Structure 1
Amino acid sequence: MDNYRLSEQDRATLQYRVTTKLREVILRGEFEDGERLVQEEWAEKLGVSRMPIREALKQLEVEGLVRIEPRRGAIVTPISVEDIEEIYQLRALLEGEAVEKSLPNLSKEHIEDLENICEQMKDLEVNEHSVAEFMRLNENFHKILYEGCTWRRIHGLIETLWKGIPPYTPSLLTNHLDESHQEHRLMLEYVKQNESEKLKEVVQKHILRTRDNLIKYVVKSKKQES
């Protein structure tokens, strides 16, 4: 419970590490819903100034894990298993539909971009730096897949669902990065083969597998803290 202090090596990626640490603490259930996250206390626990804590809270507010209130500061609103189920089930439905409609409109350049992303993912070694890069590549890969969908409203709905925990799940599920990469390779192959139904199916399975693993992570973390 008290071993939060970051090492000197961690401080090389200070902002990322502070945000990741606070995200993990919230998802582990160390805060009650509605409890204050006091900047001064966590700055001391992590051995940092208040500035990276303040910046981390801004990011966590975007993710829906805290809300910033006047005179009260950061109030924790931890994501629940039900929230995860809702977000990822909707993502599977919408992104599956979007990639199926997108495929006929993907260009040679789109396919080359997907290929390049897969190659970059393959070359990453799992560490704090590579996980941050994997998150960026993962989000770009998914966006390219459904970029060709001509349904305007579905893009807005998907973007809303991505404004939260989804972009950051690789930082929590590092043991599953290889599996995720293999699924991305399979998506790329179906794009090249122009197999829209198979592409839709693997995208949905990929999202739902992530949902299941994230739920296991949250449940296990809360049990360890109880």
Structure 2
Amino acid sequence: MLHATSESAAERVYVEVKEQILTNAIAGGELISEGEIAAKCSVSRTPVREAFLRLETEGWMRLYPKRGALVVPIGEREIRDVVDARLLLERHAVRAVVGRPGAVAGLVRSLRANLDAHRRSDASDIREFSRIDAEFHQLIAAAGDNALLSGFYTTLGERHRRMTTASVHRDAGVAARILDDHRALLGAIESADAERFDTLLAGHLFAVHDLPGHDLPGAPA
């Protein structure tokens, strides 16, 4: 249930429904109705309709008059495009960092703190688990010291979170794999080994998101 805030009812419904989509609480392919969401959120249908229109504009759902709203499933093309973009941006960031020892040390400290938080988190709390996972990679992208690229990477964050939650739902072993891979990625950064980071990152993203590596640019042989 949504609690009363200073935000408009439509904004509150938008935030809640979008968060449920990102965390797979409302799964891709599910058809939901205005009445269903209005009842859950204790609002009239009007703000729900406004929220749905906004979510449709952003590509999260498709609206069908008199039937409801279909949550758009995560498509293979979307997964490939997001992974490809993340590979390019994170690899670029690490190559920019390894030439600056002070930057390496600062990034390592931040990533260690993130890993500590990840280890303490409950993998069954997928909302928090996916948030910390996204933060790990955003720290790497930001360390490249290019505000434009870092800003673009941040725009991938919502798709990143949704893909991660879908992967964890698909295979319970993915959560442990993410932690193991993050430790290895941190080790490569700490040793300033950009080549090893490149290979580890590709393997990490392909495995977590269940993609065949040879189909993506920059994949290891």
Q: Same fold (TM over 0.5)?
A: yes
Q: TM-score, with normalisation over the residues of structure 2?
A: 0.65
State the identity as a percent: 21
Task: Indicate if the aligned counterparts of 2:104 and 2:189 stay in contact, CA closer than 8 A.
Answer: no
Superposed displacement of residue 189, structure 1: 0.9
2:175 alignment partner AA? L
Gaps of 5+ in 2: 1-15, 212-221
Relative distance call for 1:21 and 1:188 in structure 2 (3 A) is closer
User: Residue 106 of structure 2 is aligned with which of 105, 109, 116?
Assistant: 109
State how far apart, in whole Å, the 1-side matches of 2:57 and 2:192 are: 36
Task: Indicate if the aligned counterparts of 1:19 and 1:56 stay in contact, CA closer than 8 A.
Answer: no
202-211 vs 175-184, which moves further: 202-211
Matched residue, 2:10? none
Matched residue, 1:121? 118
Gaps of 5+ in 1: 1-14, 32-36, 214-226
Q: Deviations over 1:125-164 (max 9, x none)?
A: 3223xx22222221221121122324444334323333x4
Q: Deviations over 1:16-74 (max 9, x none)?
A: 897159945442x244xxxxx42213455xxx2345x95986995697312689xx995
State how far apart, in whole Å, the 2-side matches of 1:203 and 1:62 are: 32
Superposed displacement of residue 204, structure 1: 2.4
Q: Secondary structure at the match of 1:173?
A: helix
User: Residue 131 of structure 2 is aligned with which of 136, 156, 175?
Assistant: 136
The yes-or-no answer on 1:89 pairing with 2:100 is no
User: Residue 193 of structure 2 is aligned with which of 185, 192, 195?
Assistant: 195
Matched residue, 1:220? none
Matched residue, 1:155? 150
Superposed displacement of residue 177, structure 1: 0.7
* Residue correspondences, number: 186
The yes-or-no answer on 1:171 pairing with 2:165 is yes
State how far apart, in whole Å, the 2-side matches of 1:135 and 1:145 are: 16
2:193 alignment partner AA? E
State how far apart, in whole Å, the 1-side matches of 2:105 and 2:191 are: 13
CA-atom RMSD, angstroms? 3.9
**Higher relative contact order structure (alpha carbons within 8 Å, sequence separation ≥ 6):** 1
Relative distance call for 1:188 and 1:16 in structure 2 (3 A) is farther
